[in-house]
């Protein structure tokens, strides 16, 4: 049955599955407008729990806890794609959940995701399902002897994937992956990576932020810039068309992000989709009239879209534990003294290598100036 969100006024209670930083920023945006937030799945000292009205630290398979949660909220959304689909299906018996389970199911399984996208004419890298070392060898050979092997589930920030070549010991690689099914993807010859964050509302209205150019280090997003000179008007139009097709195909109510490669011949290829706000969209908090998190709570609350227009060019730099190990009070003072640099910390107690602890956003007259400013600010934290 098709879900349609009902209009929820301030004072209503919004449920969030997951308590990490995306839930935190959703809660901050919604509470600013007078909504109550109950977080499910993480304790009160989680990033989202710290700014929510209540946290329920139960397992996603705890059906009694899920029913009690559903009885306390007016609508439910989620902040990560690894929420079990049965959790959403159970909640749907008691309370609306947006986006629905079909987008969630597709986004958490790489083979299903790419198959679904191909069915609606959206370009992806060529791929093959593999279930054995022999199939892995055949797929890599078919893709010219050089490809990417990925787990079909639970991979993010470069985890669960490896570049593989016919000259490798593929028997050993398959044994190390220790999975029954995986996906092999052909290498895409691309110039740069980009993403587009989009939202869709109960009346079918869609809103699209300008695409963002993304630079990665060690498979983790490092810096995002918008608007980027490298993203032409044609690429922007193509990205919007792709995002709209996905929103409409899955009947999305909420926010999603589409990660893409811009190929050397000027085309777009979808890498993956995220059924939620995205790291590359964090700059919308400071650069746009309505952030990706405001768009999320507006959509699931049955409200109209906000204004996604950019107020100024911007750049975002992730803060990993690596960037903070040597940050002294004097370093932080220097960053806070920089005009047009905005600090966002996620409330995580322990800084670890590769762990996302926060981000910096810089706004400026040009995207290049914003990028220079945010990188300089982060450099100050490293002494």
Q: Name the β-bridge partners of 78.
A: 17
Distance CA 190, CA 33 (A): 41
The reply to whether omega before 50 is within 30° of 0 (cis) is no
> Are 60 and 87 in contact, with CB atoms under 8 Å apart?
yes
Q: Summarize pLDDT for 13-63 with one digit per residue, the tens.
A: 999 999 999 999 999 999 999 999 999 999 999 999 999 999 999 999 999
CB atoms within 10 A of CB 98: 26
What domains lie within the chain, and their CATH numbers? Answer: 13-97 (3.40.50.20), 126-186 (3.30.1490.20), 190-381 (3.30.470.20)
3-state secondary structure of 200: strand
pTM for the model: 0.94
In degrees, to the nearest 5, what angle opens at C-alpha 78 toward C-alphas 72 and 79?
Answer: 130
Q: Summarize pLDDT for 260-305 with one digit per residue, the tens.
A: 999 999 999 999 999 999 999 999 999 999 999 999 999 999 999 9
Residue 48, token pair as written in the block = 């989202």
223-249 burial: b if 16+ Cβ within 10 Å, else e: bbbbbbeebeeebbebbbebbeebbeb
Nearest to 338 by CA among 295, 302, 381: 381
What pLDDT shows up at residue 153? 84
What pLDDT shows up at residue 1? 45
Q: How far is CA 227 from CA 62, 158, 377, in A?
A: 44, 25, 20
> Are 143 and 166 in contact, with CB atoms under 8 Å apart?
no
Q: Report the interhelical angle of 329-336 vs 367-381 (nearest 10°).
A: 160
The stretches in the chain having pLDDT less than 50 are 1
Residues sharing a CB contact under 8 Å with residue 34, sequence separation 6 or more, in sequence order: 10, 11
């Amino acid at each position: 049955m098709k879900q349609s969100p009902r209009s929820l006024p301030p004072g209503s209670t919004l449920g969030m599955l997951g308590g990490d930083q995306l839930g935190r920023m959703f809660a901050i945006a919604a509470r600013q407008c007078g909504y109550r937030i109950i977080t499910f799945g993480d304790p009160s000292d989680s990033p989202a729990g710290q700014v929510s009205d209540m946290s329920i630290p139960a397992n996603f398979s705890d059906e009694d806890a899920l029913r009690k949660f559903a009885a306390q909220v007016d609508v439910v959304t989620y902040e990560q794609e690894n929420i079990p689909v049965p959790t959403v299906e159970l909640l749907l018996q008691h309370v609306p959940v947006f986006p629905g389970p079909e987008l969630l199911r597709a986004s958490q399984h790489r083979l299903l995701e790419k198959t679904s996208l191909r069915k609606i004419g959206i370009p992806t890298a060529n791929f093959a399902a593999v279930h054995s070392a022999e199939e892995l060898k055949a797929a890599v050979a078919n893709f010219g002897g050089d490809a990417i092997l990925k787990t079909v589930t639970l991979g993010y920030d470069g985890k669960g994937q490896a570049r593989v070549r016919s000259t490798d010991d593929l028997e050993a690689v398959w044994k190390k992956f220790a999975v029954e099914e995986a996906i092999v993807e052909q290498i895409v010859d691309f110039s740069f990576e980009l993403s587009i964050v989009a939202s869709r509302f109960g009346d079918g209205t869609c809103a699209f932020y300008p695409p963002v150019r993304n630079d990665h280090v060690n498979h983790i997003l490092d810096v995002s810039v918008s608007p980027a000179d490298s993203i032409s008007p044609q690429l922007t139009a193509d990205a919007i068309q792709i995002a709209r097709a996905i929103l409409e195909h899955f009947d999305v109510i909420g926010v999603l992000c589409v990660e893409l490669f811009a190929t050397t011949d000027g085309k777009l290829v979808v890498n993956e989709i995220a059924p939620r706000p995205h790291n590359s969209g964090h700059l919308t908090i400071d650069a746009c009239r309505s952030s990706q998190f405001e768009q999320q709570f507006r959509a699931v609350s049955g409200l109209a879209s906000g204004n996604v227009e950019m107020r100024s060019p911007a750049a975002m730099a992730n803060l990993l534990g690596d960037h903070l190990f040597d940050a002294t009070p004097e370093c932080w003072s220097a960053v806070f003294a920089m005009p047009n640099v905005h600090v966002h910390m996620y409330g995580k107690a322990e800084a670890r290598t590769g762990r996302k602890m926060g981000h910096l956003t810089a706004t400026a007259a040009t995207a290049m100036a914003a990028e220079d400013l945010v990188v300089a600010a982060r450099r100050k934290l490293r002494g």
